[in-house]
Each structure stands twice: as structure tokens, then as C-alpha cells.
């Protein structure tokens, strides 16, 4: 796979899994096209051939060309995200951008839904037929377990362990973790598997994947994204506010709001770095301010 295919795969991933806006994805695409042209000028045709020096030279060229600080910060984020994606997918053996300093202008807070909006979204999947049972289970598991959409798609029946109380998840970098299912998600998942999945299963074609399309095939990320958007529209939630990854963000934010330990959230999300998880303390700043006002003697 060459640079053009590698960048296309990354851009598709950030649209589906991270729920970035079309404008942001387009800007990242322009940044990576510039990067690809720069590399091709050096005779580099695949990401696996790129060195840290190549990346630094490209970023330095942007400074010399007079690009705005905000543009350079976005360009750095695009390159870092691109190589992190390839490393996580096992497409490259080492991440040459891993030690490249991030030029942050200030962290962008993740989008989340309110608890009420999540309830309305899940209720929009009316569990009166097989499709409704399936879609409701998808939404419950995404939100109830904080899974990445790729992790949900890869979920097999054998991954439901400990008498249905845990999910065994193979996350980024092939790191395995156990995630509690929770009562509501567990009930929805069990009902789907017992009552609805047999109606979608088509023998060997379906294999042991948990979530199946009407054709009996395992779900793709695009298919799950479509279901989330469809049910969100029925719940009156604007399309630009919702994606599978927004449900993952909402899981973490709501867990923190109800007193969960941040390191426990880190483990459930499968974050290698606690700093990645700490962004949710910023999302929940309003709750902390309210606690301060309520309990501090001079609040």
C-alpha cells in the first residue's frame, strides 16, 4: 500500500471513529497531500520508509514558508495522527512521529451528549423487531462499554466472558483488556443474541461475530456509523453532534461525573497514557465548579 492509499485509509478512519467534521477532515487531507508530495520529492513512496528527520524537515518547511501557527499546529496533528493510526493498525513497525512535539493551541474538548440525550438515542431504537433489538444493543454496548467502533465490529460471541458480565476486547496495538458490560447493555446484548441474531445469521458467512447486517455479514465501521446517525435523527440529535466515538466520549464523561476513578476509566477505554484520559476532567469542569460552590466554606 502506497502513501496515497495509506492517507486515504487514515482520513476514512478519522471521519468514522473520531467523528471529525468534514471541514477538519478536508484540512487534514490537504496537509497530508502536502506531506506526501514532500516525501515523494525525496523518493519516498511508503510510510514505512519515513524517518523522524523527514517529518521534522517537512514541518520546518512550513515555518519557513510563513504558515500561520494555527496551520502548523494542525499540520503537526495531521502527521502525528497519521502515523499513530498506521502504527495502531500494524501497518508500520515503528512510529517515526512518536517523539515529534505536538504543537497544541490548546486541547479541543471532545463532544459529548447529555445523559438525557443518550437515553433518547437508545430509545429511538424501538426493540419491537430484530433490527430494533440489534440497533439498540449496538447503541447500548457502544455507550455502556465505551468501545471504539472498530472494537464493536470485531466483537465475537467468544468475547462475552464471565457469564456475560465482561467483554474481552482486543484494542489498539493488539492489547487485550476486559470491560464490564453493565446491566442495561448486558440485557440488550443478551436479548439481541438470543432473539434477533439468529434471524441475521447466514451460516459460515456470519461466523461468530456478534453484530450482523441484514445480509448476515459482520458490520463495518461505516455500517455502524450509519445506524448511529439514523437513530440520532429519529431522536432529534443533529448529525454533526453524533458519531460512534461521541458515545465513547460520553461514556467516559458520564462515568467521571458519577465519581468513577480516572485510572479505572483509562483501563476501560484502553488508553495507554493517562494524559489521554485526563481530557475528560476538562469536559466535566462544570460539575467540579458546582461541587466547589456547594461544599467549600467560602464557595
Q: What is the pLDDT of residues 256-283, one digit of tens each?
A: 888 888 889 999 999 887 877 877 776 6
- Give percent of the chain above pLDDT 90: 49
Helix (H) or strand (E) holding 161: strand 160-161
Which pLDDT tens digit goes with each residue over 25-73?
888 889 999 999 999 999 999 898 999 889 999 998 988 888 888 888 8
Q: Residue 121: what pLDDT?
A: 97
- Residue in this structure with the C-alpha cell 468514522, named with its chain if needed: 16
Q: Name residues whose C-beta falls within 8 Å of residue 106's C-beta, 6 or more positions apart in sequence.
A: none
pLDDT at 238 > cutoff 80 = yes
Whether 167 contacts 179, CB under 8 Å: yes
Looking at CATH, the fold of the domain delimited by 115-287 is given as hpI Integrase; Chain A (1.10.443)
Burial 89-103 (b: 16+ CB within 10 A, else e): eebbeebbbeebeee
Higher pLDDT, 220 or 25: 220
Sketch the domain layout of the chain as residue ranges.
Answer: 3-88, 115-287
How large is the average pLDDT for residues 144-162?
95
Per-residue pLDDT for 19 more than 70?
no
Q: With contact defined as beta carbons under 8 Å apart, do 249 and 112 qualify?
A: yes
Query: Domain 3-88 belongs to what topology?
Result: DNA polymerase; domain 1 (1.10.150)
Of residues 139, 135, 185, 134, the one with CA closest to residue 160 = 185
Neighbouring residues of 229: CB distance < 8 A, sequence distance ≥ 6: 239, 242, 243
Q: Examine the pLDDT at 14 and tell me if it is beyond 80.
A: no
Catalytic residue IDs: 148, 172, 245, 248, 271, 280
Amino acid at each position: 500500500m502506497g502513501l496515497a492509499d495509506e492517507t486515504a485509509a487514515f482520513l476514512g478512519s478519522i471521519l468514522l471513529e473520531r467523528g471529525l467534521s468534514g471541514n477538519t477532515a478536508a484540512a487534514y487531507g490537504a496537509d497530508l497531500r502536502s506531506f506526501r508530495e514532500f516525501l515523494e520529492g525525496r523518493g519516498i513512496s511508503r510510510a514505512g520508509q519515513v524517518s523522524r528527520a523527514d517529518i521534522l524537515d517537512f514541518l520546518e518547511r512550513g515555518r519557513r514558508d510563513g504558515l500561520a501557527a494555527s496551520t502548523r499546529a494542525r499540520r503537526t496533528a495531521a502527521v502525528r495522527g497519521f502515523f499513530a493510526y498506521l502504527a495502531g493498525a500494524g501497518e508500520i513497525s515503528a512510529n517515526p512521529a512518536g517523539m515529534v512535539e505536538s504543537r497544541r493551541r490548546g486541547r479541543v474538548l471532545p463532544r459529548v451528549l447529555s445523559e438525557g440525550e443518550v437515553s433518547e438515542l437508545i430509545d429511538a431504537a424501538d426493540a419491537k423487531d430484530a433490527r430494533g433489538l440489534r440497533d439498540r444493543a449496538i447503541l447500548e454496548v457502544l455507550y455502556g462499554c465505551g468501545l471504539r467502533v472498530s472494537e464493536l465490529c470485531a466483537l465475537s460471541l467468544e468475547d462475552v466472558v464471565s457469564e456475560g458480565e465482561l467483554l474481552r476486547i482486543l484494542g489498539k496495538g493488539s492489547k487485550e483488556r476486559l470491560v464490564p458490560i453493565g446491566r442495561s447493555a448486558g440485557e440488550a446484548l443478551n436479548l439481541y443474541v438470543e432473539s434477533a441474531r439468529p434471524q441475521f445469521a447466514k451460516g459460515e458467512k456470519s461466523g461468530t461475530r456478534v453484530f450482523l447486517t441484514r445480509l448476515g455479514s459482520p458490520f463495518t465501521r461505516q455500517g455502524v456509523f450509519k445506524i448511529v446517525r439514523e437513530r440520532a435523527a429519529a431522536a432529534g440529535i443533529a448529525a454533526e453532534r453524533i458519531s460512534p466515538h461521541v458515545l465513547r466520549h460520553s461514556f467516559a464523561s458520564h462515568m467521571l461525573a458519577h465519581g468513577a476513578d480516572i485510572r479505572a476509566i483509562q483501563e476501560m477505554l484502553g488508553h495507554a497514557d493517562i494524559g489521554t484520559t485526563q481530557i475528560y476532567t476538562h469536559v466535566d469542569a462544570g460539575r467540579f465548579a458546582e461541587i466547589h460552590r456547594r461544599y467549600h466554606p467560602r464557595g
